[in-house]
Structure 1
């Protein structure tokens, strides 16, 4: 199972993205657990996930989150603004899978 954490300022706007990503995962036959949380929950959740994607509205926190996630050897990236705005679950899911794959290869 691939576990993806999404993080935004309050966890609300990313919940719609989670739904779209879950639909895409089902369509592609990928077993996933995808959860959206607010920024304040990031540090307590990241250890349980394979990666974290940040909502574009909090991309300014990327360095802080990467430092925290590095303790658990977890990659963190920012969701493409266009994909986020269009709720393109499949592209965002593919981004997460690529992030995990490239991190495991590193």
Structure 2
């Protein structure tokens, strides 16, 4: 089963480099994932296709509002500023997969 990971930032641009690195890490580890990034205004509709939404640290202050907007269907969490700044793709991918695993265990 493919895990769909949506990253969200102000313009959808600052996350694009991180997305590409995450895809490379996933491919190297033979993980079945789809990862993409969007600008914040598109998160409401794009989250319909996601298993998890990760926010760029510049949007961390919107975590509760975005969770409220899209409902409880998928977990929403901010990426740590350190992992984002260092483009730590393995850590961000692990964060996403752990959030999905936790959500599936609750269902």
State if a TM-score over 0.5 links the two structures.
yes
Question: Whole-Å Cα distance in 1 between the matches of residues 71 and 47 of structure 2?
Answer: 10
Match of 1:28 in 2: 29
Alignment of 1:7-46 (within 5 A): 7-46=8-47
Whether the 8 Å contact between 1:69 and 1:75 is mirrored in structure 2 is no
Q: CA deviation at 1:70?
A: 2.1
Match of 2:74 in 1: 74
Count of equivalent residues: 105
Whether the 8 Å contact between 1:46 and 1:69 is mirrored in structure 2 is yes
TM-score normalised by length of structure 1 = 0.95
Question: Whole-Å Cα distance in 2 between the matches of residues 67 and 28 of structure 1?
Answer: 33
Which runs of at least 4 in structure 1 moved beyond 6 Å after TM superposition?
Answer: none
Q: CA deviation at 1:100?
A: 0.5
Whether the 8 Å contact between 1:50 and 1:100 is mirrored in structure 2 is yes
CA RMSD of aligned residues (A): 0.9
Q: CA deviation at 1:34?
A: 0.6
Structure 1: runs of 5+ lacking an equivalent: none
Structure 2: runs of 5+ lacking an equivalent: none
Q: CA deviation at 1:80?
A: 1.3
DSSP-derived class of the 2:34 partner: strand
TM-score normalised by length of structure 2 = 0.94
